[in-house]
Every structure is written in C-alpha cells, then in structure tokens.
C-alpha cells in the first residue's frame, strides 16, 4: 500500500496535492534495479593523496613542460660531458674566441675551451647544489620545526627566539662571509647555504605541526601508547608532507641562483671548473666582441629557473590546493 | 602594541649582536685575515701599525673582541687593508649616498610599476593584460638579476647603442642600473599585488560601494587599494635586501662608485677589514629597516594579531 493510499484511509485530511498523488495508479511506479539504487557506493578504488596530487600536477601544462625541461637538462648534465670530445678545462690556443659552429656548438672562450661542455658541467654543479641544498634543509627544517612545534611551551619559545634572531641576519652577507672563510669549493657553498636556508622550512613545519597536533588521530595514537617520536615522525610529519615539499621545492631555484650569484662575484666555483654564474661572469669583458659567450650560459640558467619555478607552482597547486591562487 | 615594539626592538639588537659576533670570529679565523699573526698578514706596514694600535692585536682574543665591540658602538668600522689611508667610514660616506640614490629610484620605480601591473592584472583577470603582466612577473622572478642586467647591457648598449654602459654622469646613465635593480622586485610586487587585489575585490564592502553607484575607478583606487596595499608593506623589508644583492651586481657591471662595488672589490682583493666593516654596516642597515617595516605593518594593519 502506498503512502497516498494510507492517507486516503482518512488518518490525515487530504489536500489537493495529496489527492493528485493518490490518483496515480500503482502501475506508474517501477522498482529500480539493485545496481542503480547503490549510487552512493564507491565504484572505483580510492586514490591516495599522492596519486591525487600527481593527477592534478599532470593536468598543469606549464608544470609538465618544466618537468620535461629539467629531465632533459639533468640527462644532459649526466651524460653530456662523456659524449663530447672536449673537456671543461681543455685549452686550445689555436681556437680562441670561436663563434658557434659544428665543431663547438656554443663556441669557445678566450682560452679556446668549449663552452658547450662547460655549460653542461655548469648544469651538473647547479643541479647538484639545488637538490643537495633542498635535501639538507628538508632534514634540518623538519627536525627543528617538528620538535619545536610538537613539544611547544618553553622548548618552542627558546627555539623560536633563536629563529627570530637568525632570520634577521641577512642571508647573503652571511653566506659571502662563510665562503671567504671556508674557501671556494662546492662543499663550502653547500655548508654555507645549509646554515641559513633551513629557517623558512623550520617555521613552516612548526606551524603545520601545531595545527595538526590537536587532531583526534594524535590523541588516539597517544592513547594506544605511541611515543612522542613516533607520533611526530609517523603521524604529524607525513601528514604535513605536501606543504613541506612545496616549500623545499622553491629552495632549489634559490640555491641555484645563490650559487650562480656567488660565482658571478668570483667567490663561488673556482677556475677551471665552471658554473653558469662563472660562465656569465667570464663573458662580461668580451660582451662587445663575443656576445654569444654570455648568451648560452645565460639562456641555460634562465630556462632552468623558469622550469623550476613552473614545477614549484604546479606542485603547490597539486599538493596544497588551499594555496591555489 | 608597545610590548610588541619593545620585543621586536630587543630581538633586533640581539640580531645585530649575533651578526657582529659571527663576523668578528669568522674574520679572526680566516687565514691571512685582519687579526691573524703579523707574519701571515701581507699588509702595508703603516696599516699594520694602525691595526695593532686600534685592535690591540697582541691582546687575548676576548679583549680584542670587546675592543671591537666598543669601536663599533662608537661608529668606527675599521680601516682598509689595501689602501692604508682609507677608513671604512670614509668608504661608506663616499659610496652610500650614491648607492642610496640609485636604490631609492629603483624602489620608487619598482613600487609604481609593480603595483600598476598587479592591479591591471587583477581587474582584467583572465584577459590579455593579466597574461601580459604575469608573463613579465614570471620572467622577473625566474631570470637572475645578474643575467637580466647583462642581457639588458647587451641589448641596449651593444646592439642598439642607445644607452651608456658605465658611470652616472647623466639621467641616461641611471636607466640601466635602475632597471637592473628594479626588475626582480617589480615581478614580486606585481604577483603580491595581484593576489591581494583579487582577495580584496571579493569582499562585501566592494559590492556595497558598487551598489551605491561609486564609479569603478574610485572603487579600485580608493576602496580596494587601501586594503590591498597592506601586504606590499611586508615586502619592503626583503626589498631592501634584494636591492643590496642587486647593487653588488649592478654597481660592478656599470662601474658605479657605490658601496656595493666597494664590497665586491673588497671580496676580490681579499680586503678583509673592508668586508668586515661593510658587512656590519649593511647588516645593521637591513636589520634596522626590517624593524621599521615590522612596526609600520603593525601600525597600518590593525587586523594583525600581534600576540600569537
């Protein structure tokens, strides 16, 4: 017996509308098949956070172009120097200041060194520094910020006062001083940047941990007897990994910039090794006569920075949709 | 508010102290540095005598450190290694006005152009002016300042022969250095301005203003801009630091007799005492400007929660 029929027994007074319903014959209603009724059921296996992020990232054309460019540059940096017949420090007095040709794709410099090979070595240096600085600062930032945010109270206060003081010291002056002290090697560049760049990551991790630590699953973990370390590194940090990765990704281009900047000023990588900054710097005196010497390294560094910034923007939109512009 | 200012003040003082301490001990440890034993220093005799007299190089480290702090507190930043009769204070009084002039012009240009680009972008969202401004901004953020400056030098001086390449003797000489300094900051300001403008334009009070029939230009420049401009203030601190980085590059490339060029030639000459003095000066300058910007921000934006 349908609803309208029940009403029509007189338990409830009928309105015109109800009457209209009641007049519909039962034959007008058909039973749905079971499968069609289960529209709420999850039809496909659910996606993990990372799969979801990857599918968003994949739909961002600029980010994908950036990723492609970086992969190409990385491959060139790794295998390129082996394929060329020239070495980064091989001087050839007979072929000084040659323009680009089939022999020397990017031309040669004032010592007759092949600029193409030097630029590929520069890519090695730049990418190594970018990735290494990001990795080192990820570790320091996560540990410092995680402990500070999770423990809170006096520990947090002391740790954050230290950060407040450190953050005011201008990075670059500090790095230049350290470079003068440590000497011009890749290791000292890494060390100098590792002493300064973690601060931003640490602050970010701290604020993430603070927002997450009052969630129920943390309480649940504590109730089942998890140690503080376990809660921090098994629950809180993995759950804040998205924003952490975004922050760290943007460290890569800034580390590459800083290295190039230092090399441009003459306190980065030492001759005969060449980074992109050194190459641009070496080309300034011959800018009027051999402009191509500057052009290729300048393009290489700019394209890399573009690509890395696109990847960073894409990752930010993919991993942390709340931040989307 | 007063509590916040006092807190920030003491934090800044501490930061300065840390900076000075780090520079002192690093310079002390540098081989052949200003404080190393006499036989290691390749320094003119007259300079060495002055150094010994000034810093008491034969005294223990602690005493030297206290002497150094004292002389900085009195505003004395030391003497050059390489040019025996030049003090760092003289370098600063000669170079700083030049740098500050170029820097100030660059700040003004960066603020005006960056904000205009950002506003245009926000009100023409998704249309071609938005695309154009954001392309400019992306270029500015991605291309390093020294590459940009060298590229502009190449384009306008070598290829088009429009502008002079060094010195500061006429207004034409200012164009490239200022452009080199301002390009990166323009990009940051444009991006910041765009997002903050979009945020503000969504607010109810803008709807109210429009409903009352306020003309669009007044809605944008009077009602929206007032609030949208606040985040720009936070960028002023990093802006000063960015200009400093830029000045190292620009003053070197265009041979501008400013403090940035002194710093860079100090680096290549290994003139440690000049680097030491200039680092302390520039560091304190940046710390003070950050302090002022923080206070300014707290005053302007009453929504800022000072007590966290």
Q: B134 in contact with A at a CB cutoff of 8 Å? A: no
What are the backbone angles phi and psi of residue B216, rounded to the nearest 5°? Answer: -55, -40
Please report residues of B whose CB lies closer than 8 A to that of A166: 15, 18
pLDDT at A66: 92
Three-state secondary structure call for residue B87: strand
B220 compared with A26, residue with greater pLDDT: B220
The pLDDT value recorded for residue B106 is 92
pLDDT of res. B189? 92
Q: Taking the CA atoms of chain A, what radius of gyration do you get in angstroms?
A: 31
Average confidence (pLDDT) over B108-130: 90
Could you tell me the CA-to-CA distances from B231 to A221, A321, B195, B226, B307 in Å, in that order? 40, 21, 10, 11, 19
Residue of A nearest to B285 (CA): A170
Residue B291 falls within a domain, yes or no? Answer: no
CB B234 within 8 A of CB B188: no
Q: How far apart are CA A53 and CA A58, in angstroms?
A: 9
Q: Taking CB atoms and an 8 Å cut-off, how many pairs form between chains A and B? A: 115
Q: How many domains does chain B have?
A: 1
- Residue B13: asked if its preceding bond is cis (omega within 30°), the reply is no
Q: What is the pLDDT of residue B307?
A: 46
Per-residue model confidence (pLDDT) at position A132: 93
CATH number of domain containing B184: 1.10.3720.10
Q: What is the mean pLDDT of residues B136-155?
A: 87
Residue B295 maps to a domain: no
Who among A164, A291, A306 is closest to B154 (CB)? Answer: A291
Of A92-96, B268-272, B291-295, the range with the lowest mean pLDDT is: A92-96
Q: Are the Cβ atoms of A172 and B141 closer than 8 angstroms?
A: no
User: B154 and A288 in contact (C-beta within 8 Å)?
Assistant: no
Mean pLDDT for the stretch of residues B178-193: 90
Residue range B177-191: average pLDDT? Answer: 90
Residue B64 covered by a domain: no
Domain encompassing residue B134: 105-266
State whether residue B18 sits within 8 Å of chain A by CB. yes
CATH homologous superfamily of A62-323 equals MetI-like (1.10.3720.10)
pLDDT tens track, chain A, 325 positions: 565 565 556 555 667 777 777 778 877 777 766 665 566 666 677 778 888 888 888 888 889 999 999 999 999 888 877 777 777 776 766 777 677 776 767 777 777 777 788 888 888 888 999 999 999 999 999 999 999 999 888 998 888 888 888 887 788 888 888 888 887 888 888 888 888 888 889 998 998 898 888 888 888 988 888 888 888 888 888 888 888 888 888 888 888 888 888 888 888 777 777 888 888 888 887 777 777 788 888 888 899 999 998 998 888 888 876 655 4
Say what the pLDDT of residue A35 is. 60
Question: Is B45 among the domain residues?
Answer: no
Residue B202 resides in a domain: yes
Is B261's Cβ below 8 Å from some Cβ in A? no
Kindly determine whether residue A291 and residue B14, on different chains, have CB atoms separated by under 8 Å.
no
**How far off is chain A from B1, nearest CA to CA, in Å?**
18
pTM listed for this prediction: 0.80
Region B252-273 average pLDDT: 84
Chain B residues with beta carbon closer than 8 angstroms to that of A70: none
Name the residue in chain A with its Cα closest to that of B29. A181
Residues 6 or more apart whose CB falls under 8 angstroms from that of A44 comprise none
Please indicate whether residue B196 or residue B302 has the higher confidence score (pLDDT).
B196
Angstrom distance (rounded) from CA A155 to CA A206: 12
Tell me whether A181 touches chain B (CB under 8 Å).
yes
Q: Does B43 fall in a domain?
A: no
Chain A residues within an 8 Å CB radius of B29: 181
By CA distance, what is B280's nearest residue in A? A173
In a domain, B257, yes or no: yes
């Amino acid at each position: 017996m349908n609803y309208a029929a029940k009403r029509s027994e007189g338990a409830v007074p009928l309105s015109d509308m109800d009457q209209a319903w009641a007049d519909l014959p039962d034959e007008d209603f058909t039973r749905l098949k079971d499968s069609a009724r289960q529209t709420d059921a999850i039809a496909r296996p659910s996606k993990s956070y990372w799969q979801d992020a990857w599918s968003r990232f994949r739909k961002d054309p600029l980010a994908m172009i950036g990723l492609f460019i970086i992969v190409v540059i990385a491959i060139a940096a790794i295998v390129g120097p082996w394929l060329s017949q020239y070495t980064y420090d091989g001087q050839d007095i007979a072929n000084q200041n040659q323009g680009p040709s089939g022999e020397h794709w990017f031309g040669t410099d004032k010592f007759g060194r092949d600029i193409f090979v030097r630029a590929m070595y520069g890519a090695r240096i730049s990418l190594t520094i970018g990735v290494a600085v990001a990795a080192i600062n990820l570790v320091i930032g996560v540990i410092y910020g995680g402990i500070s945010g999770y423990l809170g109270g006096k520990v947090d206060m002391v740790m954050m006062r230290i950060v407040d003081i450190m953050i005011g010291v201008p990075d670059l002056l500090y790095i230049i001083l350290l470079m003068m002290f440590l000497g011009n090697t890749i290791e000292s560049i890494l060390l100098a940047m590792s002493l300064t760049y973690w601060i931003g990551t640490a602050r970010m991790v701290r604020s993430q941990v603070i927002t997450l630590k009052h969630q129920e699953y943390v309480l649940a973990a504590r109730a089942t007897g998890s140690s503080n370390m376990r809660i921090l590194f098994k629950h809180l940090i993995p759950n804040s990994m998205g924003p952490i990765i975004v922050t760290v990704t943007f460290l890569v281009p800034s580390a590459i910039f800083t290295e190039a900047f230092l090399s441009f000023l003459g306190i980065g990588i030492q001759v005969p090794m060449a980074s992109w900054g050194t190459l641009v710097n070496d080309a300034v005196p011959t800018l009027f006569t051999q402009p191509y010497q500057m052009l290729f390294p300048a393009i290489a560094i700019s394209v890399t920075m573009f690509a890395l910034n696109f990847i960073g923007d894409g990752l930010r939109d993919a991993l942390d949709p709340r931040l989307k512009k | 508010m007063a509590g916040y200012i006092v807190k920030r003040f003491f934090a800044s003082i501490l930061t300065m102290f840390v900076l000075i301490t780090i520079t002192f001990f690093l310079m002390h440890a540098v081989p052949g540095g200003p404080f190393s034993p006499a036989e290691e220093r390749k320094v003119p005799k007259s300079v060495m005598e002055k150094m010994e007299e000034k810093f008491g190089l034969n005294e223990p480290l602690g005493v030297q450190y206290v002497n150094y702090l004292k002389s900085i507190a009195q505003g004395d930043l030391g003497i050059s290694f390489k040019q025996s009769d030049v003090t760092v204070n003289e370098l600063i009084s000669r170079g700083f006005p030049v740098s500050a002039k170029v820097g100030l012009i660059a700040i003004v240009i960066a603020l005006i152009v960056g904000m205009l680009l950002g506003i245009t972008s926000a009100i023409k969202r998704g249309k071609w002016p938005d695309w154009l401004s954001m392309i400019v901004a992306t270029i500015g953020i991605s291309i390093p300042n020294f590459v940009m400056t060298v590229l502009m030098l190449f384009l306008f001086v070598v290829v088009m022969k429009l502008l002079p390449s060094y010195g500061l003797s006429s207004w034409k000489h200012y164009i490239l250095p200022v452009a080199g300094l301002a390009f990166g900051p323009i990009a940051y300001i444009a991006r910041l301005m765009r997002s903050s403008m979009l945020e503000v334009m969504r607010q109810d009070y803008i709807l109210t203003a429009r409903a009352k029939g306020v003309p669009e230009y007044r809605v944008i420049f009077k009602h929206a801009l007032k609030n949208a401009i606040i985040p720009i203030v936070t960028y002023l601190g990093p802006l000063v630091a960015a200009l400093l980085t830029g000045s190292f590059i620009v003053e070197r490339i265009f041979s501008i007799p400013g403090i940035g060029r002194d710093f860079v030639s100090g680096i290549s000459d290994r003139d440690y005492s000049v680097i030491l003095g200039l680092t302390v000066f520039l560091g304190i300058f940046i710390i003070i400007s950050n302090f002022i910007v923080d206070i300014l921000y707290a005053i302007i934006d009453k929504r800022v929660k000072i007590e966290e």
